[in-house]
Structure 1
């Protein structure tokens, strides 16, 4: 059964909070760690990314929370947050589906890989709204539950950024 849906207003607020925290983090990064930061950024949705999200939706049914996410955010690159977090663009997700298909995850009618971490593990979500992490750097292996909802997943990343 699907969980609570991702609220676009909550997502916009999350993007604003996390973006502000990232700006402060990257400004102080070199002084803190002795080397420059990677590109830590949230890329807002653009006309091109919205078209890419539409093309993904024509290819297969996109989970509602992922559709909401791509209505606000094209991608996220957070290589210096914990082990690294990356939300892939809708164009990248489409390419992944075409090359690898969709992962088989128990309890999900159809799951899409939408992100990864710095170790190459993949994040997937489906129509249940749950977020899964691959146990290996492959869409063919097992996946374990990491969040009950996409909001919970993003909130965890936001807390990591705020604590930097």
Structure 2
């Protein structure tokens, strides 16, 4: 899977399916949990987010799968899915890159942090296409393999939204 590149049409379909699963989850959320859900959304890219992605590409070598994803998705905010999952907008990724740089993982190309969970763990995508997750809520500690590809990472998020994990 890591040798295959992410397809924009696949990401569009993922957005539709994740959005539909999210609607279903939110309809029953308050009954199950006793309080209303937060803002859970899969936000599609806009002209403004495309410009931010272009600026990110100019700033740093960005894995091509991340560019493909950001051409379709602006951000994903899932505070009520398990512990919470967030795909940061490309403008935030650029800001974080300016502040912290890329993530160095032994035996791997430098990785770019693009997401986090509600516990502060970070997700970074390397040029190889693999997604890595920090073992602590830190930019500077160890990162372990989280998914063989960005597509696999997104598929895992979809399963979490659907309650299949």
Q: TM-score, normalised by structure 1?
A: 0.96
Partner Cα distance (2:163, 2:110) in 1: 34
Partner Cα distance (1:25, 1:70) in 2: 25
Partner Cα distance (1:10, 1:69) in 2: 10
- Give the Å deviation of 1:80: 1.0
Aligned residue in 1 for 2:154: 154
Aligned length: 163
Partner Cα distance (2:52, 2:110) in 1: 19
Aligned residue in 2 for 1:68: 68
Q: Is the contact between residue 112 and residue 126 of structure 1 (CA under 8 Å) also seen in structure 2?
A: yes
Q: TM-score, normalised by structure 2?
A: 0.95
Partner Cα distance (1:70, 1:108) in 2: 22
CA RMSD of the aligned region, Å? 1.1
5+ residue gaps, structure 2, are: none
Note if 1:52 corresponds to 2:52: yes
Partner Cα distance (1:137, 1:3) in 2: 29
Q: How does 1:1-164 map to 2 (within 5 A)?
A: 3-163=3-163
